[in-house]
Amino acid sequence: MLLGLQNIILRMVAQGDELQATLERLCVEVEHLLPGAVASVLTLDDQGRLHPCAAPGLPLSYSMALDDVEIGPAVGSCGSAAFFGEAVIVDDIEQDPRWADFKALALPHSLRACYSSPIFGSKGKILGTFALYFRYARAPSLLEQAIVESCLPLCMIALERHERLREHRRLAFTDILTGLPNRARFNVAMDEMSPGDWALLLVDVDNLKIVNDTFGHAAGDDLIASVARRLLSVVSPRAVYRLGGDEFAIVLDPASVAQAEEIATEFARKVHQPTICAGHTVFPSITVGIAHSEQRHSTEEIRHLADLALYHAKDTVRGGFVTYDAALTSTIAKRYEVVQTVAAALRDERIEAWYQPIVRIDTGEIVGVEALARIRLANGEVLPAAVFHEATKDAHVAASLTRLMINCISMDIGHWLRSGIPIQHVGINLSAADFQCEDFPQSLQAVFEREGVPLHHAILEVTESVYLGGRDQIVAKKIAAMRAAGFKIALDDFGTGFASLTHLITIPVDVIKIDKSFTDRLGDDDVGMAIVEGILHIARRMGVPVVAEGVETPAQADMLLARGCTLGQGYLYAKAMPASEMAVLLRTHGQKTDKVVGEKPQDGLRHGGRSR
């Protein structure tokens, strides 16, 4: 009979039946073997408290009364057995002092005696108790004791399997680094949410990649852990999830829009404080997207809207927050439409390279050109870059656009050189996405070599925002590789980025390009002139050519020339034009010299630059 019972229980454990169902079946089988006995299994938690697990023959009210009872030397049969770690036989509940505080629970249900044994785990830990209740005041028989002894290992197997399964589930739903619930748990939680007055906040940790590249991944891990602690300090015990990488999610239930925004503001106050990461001081920053249910949206819609809000926040208020509203959909829809337009143009190869000349201000000679992307629509209309600039924030679009532009540029320059057209160099704008491509700059070099164009004819323009002061090691290494191959590097839009003067020390550049915003403000009494004069003075000391962008009036050209800036670009000279028109202009106005940008000038004038 015992063998049959064991086979039943072991089969249930092996096939993964629920713990309660398995132990209730055990109790039923024992009661079948021992008429007059009522079996019960209690579990013991880490705080030393009992909890009913299986007792199909006991009244539910009685079992519930024992829930969360702390074990002790006088806590009935089960509490005492768990406390002492040995079997306890009480042959008369009404008279036994160990039942003094509990007999009022048992006697009304005709429970007169109780024999309880501790259930030990494989490592000696007490997992719970297995007990037999009797309707009459008596001690258990030898058979009853033998059956209980046979059941204890079965209880141990079932309880330990359940604990392992629970731990596996906990680990499956827990982020190891932060201890927070992970993306899988977040997905479950969102599936359980219903429309109501609640909010979802998606949090993105800014510049995690820079911290990883600069200080190592240990510092990045410390940064993530620090942000997690600070988020919890604001919203604990509300649900905070780490979705992976640099992403967190917070569910505020209930919460109004105002409350969600107040918490996002508090996040910034707490998180944007310096912290030590792997021995380095780091200034964390987070960007937050908020969506509110307002009893109208499904959970899937809320997740999508919060994503949109975060996406927009990273573009517009990095380090702050954006709350989704209907107007945001229109903004993003327009951007999506532009991305689709550019993607279609890339697919159909309707991208063209147009060129704007870079001119010697004193002689009017063209020393170089800058390549600018144009899209030709199906109806023949040509779109300038400003129209589809938003699309280039998409990394895939930006990288694809650069590749197609390089193909066009290399073919145009190759044709000009073979035709004897004087062209010193062409400026090619690079984006951050280009530096993330594994085959870059090798692919760039291969295209120019295929067309037989010497690499010194290419000036690769990198903005300060792309380079970020040399902290991004990937960019730094690739720039070094490009210069070693023979390309020249221009620091574009100089003066508008971060720590511009620092860049002149940390970045190896061959050309400096003054941003149009300074050219616009040239005037004897304007601070813009002082800045331009300072840049020109530094550049002369470094032996680096300077190109002034956005020259639109003769007065601006005269002021630049008077202060030693000999290279300009802008509408005063020409707007961007197709390659065929640019070829005509180069034949008549191109500077006929072997000098190339980046070489030390012999007379301070006969060297080129590139502009937009």
* Span between the terminal Cα atoms of the chain, in Å: 92
pLDDT at 172: 86
Give dist(CA 372, CA 476) in Å, integer. Answer: 24
- H or E, element range at 291: strand 286-292
* Distance separating alpha carbons of residues 611 and 511, to the nearest angstrom: 10
Q: Is the pLDDT of residue 91 over 80?
A: yes
Asked if residues 548 and 562 have their Cβ atoms less than 8 Å apart, the reply is: no
Among 244, 293, 234, 240, which residue's Cα sits nearest to residue 264?
234
In sequence order, the 6+-apart residues with CB closer than 8 A to the CB of 469 are: 498, 499, 502, 503, 506
Compute the distance between CA of residue 208 and CA of residue 285 in angstroms, rounded to an integer.
Answer: 9
Distance CA 148, CA 40 (A): 11
Spell out the residues 6+ positions from residue 336 whose beta carbon is closer than 8 angstroms to its own: none
Which single residue is written with the structure tokens 């323009």? 461
Task: Output the six-digit token pair for 328.
Answer: 């945001």
User: Are the C-beta atoms of residues 349 and 374 closer than 8 Å to each other?
Assistant: no
Please give the pLDDT value at position 572. 94
DSSP letter (8 states) at residue 508: -
Average pLDDT for 487-507: 69
Question: CB–CB of 27/40 below 8 Å?
Answer: yes
Cβ(39)–Cβ(27) under 8 Å?
Answer: yes
Q: How does residue 599 score in pLDDT terms, banded at 50, 70 and 90?
A: very low
pLDDT score recorded for residue 340: 80
pLDDT band at residue 389, thresholds of 50, 70 and 90?
A: confident
pLDDT of the residue at 386: 81
Contacts of 506 (CB under 8 A, 6+ apart): 469, 470
Question: How is residue 373 annotated by DSSP?
Answer: E
- pLDDT value at position 476? 76
Q: Where are the beta strands (DSSP E) in 377-530?
A: 382-383, 426-429, 458-463, 488-494, 511-514
Reply yes or no on whether the pLDDT at 574 is more than 70.
Answer: yes
Task: Compute, in degrees rounded to 10, the torsion defined by CA atoms 249, 252, 253, 257.
Answer: -120
The Cα–Cα gap between 36 and 529 comes to 103
User: Residue 502: which pLDDT band, with cuts at 50, 70 and 90?
Assistant: low
**pLDDT reported for residue 230:** 95
- Can you give the pLDDT at residue 218? 93
Neighbouring CB atoms inside 10 A of 351's CB total 19
pLDDT of 61: 93
The vertex-319 CA angle with 316 and 322, nearest 5°, equals 55
Run of H or E including 280: strand 280-282
Place of tokens 């004069």: 533
Q: What is the DSSP letter of 533?
A: H
Residue 523 identity? G
Sheet holding 286-292, edge to edge: 239-244, 247-252, 199-205, 286-292, 321-323
Indicate whether 504 pLDDT > 70: no
Rounded distance, CA 146 to CA 157, Å? 18
- Greater model confidence, 568 or 317: 568
CA-wise closest residue to 151 among 56, 61, 22, 335: 22
pLDDT recorded at residue 1? 74
CA distance readout (Å), 335 to 57, 375, 385, 472, 494: 67, 16, 14, 28, 27
The model carries a pTM of: 0.54
443, with CB counted inside 10 A (0-12, 13-18, 19+), is middle
With bands split at pLDDT 50, 70 and 90, how would you rate the model's confidence at 332? confident
Whole-angstrom distance, CA of residue 479 vs CA of residue 321: 34
- The alpha carbon of residue 542 and the mean position of all alpha carbons in its chain are separated, in whole angstroms, by 40
pLDDT for residue 467 is more than 80: no
**What pLDDT, in 10s, does the model give residues 133-185?**
999 999 999 999 999 999 999 999 999 999 988 888 888 889 999 999 999 99
Amino acid type, 120? F
Token readout for 537 is 């003075």
Q: Tokens 């429970």 — which residue?
A: 111
The DSSP-derived string for 170-220 is: HHHTB-TTT-SB-HHHHHHHHHH--SSS-EEEEEEETTHHHHHHHH-HHHH
Please spell the DSSP secondary structure of 38-86, one letter per residue.
Answer: EEEEEEE-TTSEEEEEE-TTS-HHHHHHTTTEEP-TTSHHHHHHHHHTS
Q: What is the pLDDT of residues 402-450, one digit of tens each?
A: 999 999 999 999 999 999 999 999 999 998 888 878 888 888 899 999 9
Lowest-pLDDT range, 290-299, 397-406, 529-538?
Answer: 290-299
Supply the mean pLDDT for the chain: 88
Q: What are the residues whose beta carbons fall under 8 Å from the beta carbon of 313, sequence distance 6 or more?
A: 287, 288, 289, 320, 321, 322
pLDDT at 557 over 70: yes
Q: What angle do CA 31, 35, 40 make, to 5 degrees?
A: 35
For residue 602, what pLDDT is reported? 34
| Residue 269 exposed, middle or buried by CB count within 10 Å (0-12, 13-18, 19+) | exposed
Domains in the chain, CATH or no CATH each: 2-172 (3.30.450.40), 183-324 (3.30.70.270), 395-589 (3.20.20.450)
Backbone angles phi, psi at 129, to 5 degrees: -140, 150
Sign of the alpha-carbon dihedral angle for 18, 19, 22, 28: negative
Residues 575-596 have a mean pLDDT of 86
Is 523 a residue whose pLDDT tops 90?
A: no
Residue 219: per-residue pLDDT: 92
Contact status, residue 114 vs residue 132, Cβ threshold 8 Å: yes
Taking only the tens place, the pLDDT of each residue in 283-304 is 999 999 999 987 567 888 899 8
